[in-house]
Amino acid sequence: MPKLNYWLREGKSNNAEVDFVVERGGFLIAIEVKAGVAGKIRSLHQWMKDVNYKKKKAIRFNLSAGAIENVTHHFEDEDIKYKLITLPLYLVNHFHKFI
């Protein structure tokens, strides 16, 4: 069972928090859990920008059917690009099979 952690960035004007961070197979994996089908993932974007680790992944759980997206997010000083895996909430116990 992987050890669960979370990530918190306290900013002057805004905070960012990722629900869970796990290490698996040499990767850091940020996990966001959303109650609905859609939801903003600003904290996940911030984590992908701020965490200086070469091997990292992002997973979101919500009420959608799931998808794999290539995400581009624009910050004032740079653009970040990453692959986002979205899975339905009922697969949370099996997320390791999808990474």
pTM of the model: 0.87
Report d(CA 99, CA 14) in Å as an integer: 30
The residue among 2 and 99 whose pLDDT is bigger is 99
What average pLDDT score do residues 21-43 get?
A: 90
| pLDDT for residue 93 is more than 80 | yes
pLDDT of residue 1: 60
Give the per-residue pLDDT at 2: 63
Residue 54 has pLDDT above 80, yes or no: yes
What confidence tens digit (pLDDT) does each residue in 37-53 have?
Answer: 777 899 999 999 999 99
More confident residue, 60 or 99: 60
Average pLDDT over residues 5-34: 90
- What does R_g of the chain's alpha carbons equal in angstroms? 13
Please, are residues 68 and 76 in contact by the beta-carbon 8 Å criterion? no
Q: Do residues 56 and 85 lie in contact, with contact meaning Cβ atoms separated by under 8 Å? A: no
